[in-house]
């Protein structure tokens, strides 16, 4: 891919991932044009203070719109080559309390992105997913599982030589809005931090790592894959101790829709998954998929589990704090 010749659109472009992706693309990849698509005019205004669309310094445009609005997506994707789909309702309690809204954004919004991308002749679309889509126990995870299915099977609608659609699936992002890191940052000022369950473990990735993984996978995709990076696990109690030394850790009780441990590959996906040094790829099992698309990976044994509690790679307290410190100085 020659990014300098491409027009890129990011849905949910004012979110944590979208802003970091914008930064990396503009500074290092230099696309012909970058379109930030989101429904939050205030956050777009704040982004303009850093990357103005008025001076000509940056090849960037801001579109106010919602992925629920197919007509607005159709206008925004006119002439677009590459779409990175990050827009979602992602807070577990919010989705549990507002289930219809979660479905409209996470599922119907995904359908709209796919339909418009195909109609507009977009070359590649990469959607962001989550470990919560694997054997989901909450509505957020369930909607992301459906979105994954839509993006994989959407390739049957686009045709072999049409729009390619794939997903990236990874774990919790350090410092993303509403995540546990900013929560602990605020709570430690009062001397007490809350953890829902002392056994809880999570996969962990930084925004920078997530963005670079997505961009690399976009360059390699054939359409239909689910890309899963190999990332470390962490115990939430270890994070609390590292971020708030000397503070009391209060166990508040597990919330509805919350898992103790997360999976990044389901038992059934193991049959279609192949392993590389730094990632797994779940290949689709449909007739349109080219069996020779990925020849270098290794198949996985049926007893393999990629779970946050049995992960061979763990973050040390020092590594955790390096991530957190990097966030605090930004």
Residue 132 annotated among the catalytic residues of the structure = yes
Pairwise CA distance, residues 92 & 254, whole Å: 12
Question: Within the chain, where are the H helices?
Answer: 16-24, 41-48, 70-76, 92-97, 99-103, 109-120, 139-158, 180-187, 207-220, 236-243, 317-328
Proportion of the chain in helix, strand, coil states, percent, rounded to 5: 40, 20, 40
The residue annotated as part of the active site, out of 19, 20, 90, 132, is 132
Tokens of residue 185, six digits: 């940052």
Q: Which domain holds residue 277?
A: 3-171+204-231+264-307
In tens digits, the chain (330 residues) has pLDDT values of 899 999 999 999 999 999 999 999 999 999 999 999 999 999 999 999 999 999 889 999 999 999 999 999 999 999 999 999 999 999 888 999 999 999 999 999 999 999 999 999 999 999 999 999 999 999 999 999 999 999 999 999 987 669 999 999 998 887 666 677 778 878 888 888 888 888 999 998 989 999 999 999 999 999 999 999 999 998 888 888 888 888 888 898 888 788 899 999 998 999 999 999 999 999 999 888 887 788 888 999 988 989 999 999 998 878 877 876 666 545
Domain count, the chain: 1
On whether residue 92 sits in a domain, the answer given is yes
Asked whether the beta carbons of 282 and 226 are under 8 A apart, the reply is: yes
Pairwise CA distance, residues 5 & 27, whole Å: 15
pTM: 0.93
On whether residue 159 sits in a domain, the answer given is yes
Domain with residue 137: its CATH number is 3.40.50.720
Closest to 180 (Cα-Cα) out of 238, 245, 103, 99: 238
Closest to 44 (Cα-Cα) out of 26, 59, 72, 65: 65
Asked whether the beta carbons of 215 and 166 are under 8 A apart, the reply is: no
On whether residue 96 sits in a domain, the answer given is yes
């Amino acid at each position: 891919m020659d990014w300098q010749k491409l027009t890129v659109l990011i849905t949910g472009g004012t979110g944590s991932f979208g802003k970091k992706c914008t930064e990396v693309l503009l500074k290092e990849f230099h696309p012909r044009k970058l379109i930030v698509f989101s429904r939050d005019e205030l956050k777009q205004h704040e982004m303009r203070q850093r990357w103005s669309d008025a001076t000509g310094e940056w090849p960037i445009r801001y579109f106010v719109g919602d992925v629920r609005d197919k007509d607005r997506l159709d206008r925004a994707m006119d002439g677009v080559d590459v779409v990175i789909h990050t827009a979602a309702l992602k807070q577990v309690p919010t989705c549990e309390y507002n289930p219809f809204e979660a479905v409209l954004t996470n599922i119907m919004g995904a359908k709209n992105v796919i339909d418009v991308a195909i109609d507009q002749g977009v070359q590649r679309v990469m959607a962001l997913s989550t470990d919560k889509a694997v054997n989901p126990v909450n509505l957020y995870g369930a909607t992301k599982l459906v979105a994954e299915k839509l993006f994989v099977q959407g390739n049957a609608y686009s045709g072999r030589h049409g729009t390619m659609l794939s997903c990236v699936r990874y774990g919790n992002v350090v410092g993303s809005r509403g995540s546990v890191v900013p929560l602990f940052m605020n709570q430690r000022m009062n001397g007490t931090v809350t953890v829902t369950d002392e056994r809880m473990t999570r996969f962990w990735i930084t925004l920078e790592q997530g963005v670079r993984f997505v961009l690399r996978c976009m360059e390699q995709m054939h359409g239909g894959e689910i890309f899963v990076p190999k990332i470390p696990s962490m115990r939430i109690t270890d994070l609390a101790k590292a971020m708030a030394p000397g503070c009391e850790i209060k166990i508040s009780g597990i919330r509805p829709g919350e898992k103790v441990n997360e999976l990044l590959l389901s038992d059934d996906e193991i049959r279609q998954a192949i392993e590389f040094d730094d990632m797994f790829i779940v290949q689709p099992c449909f007739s349109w998929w080219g069996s020779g698309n990925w020849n270098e990976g290794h198949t996985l044994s049926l007893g393999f589990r990629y779970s946050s509690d049995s992960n061979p790679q763990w973050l040390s307290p020092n590594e955790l704090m390096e991530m957190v410190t990097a966030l605090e100085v930004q």
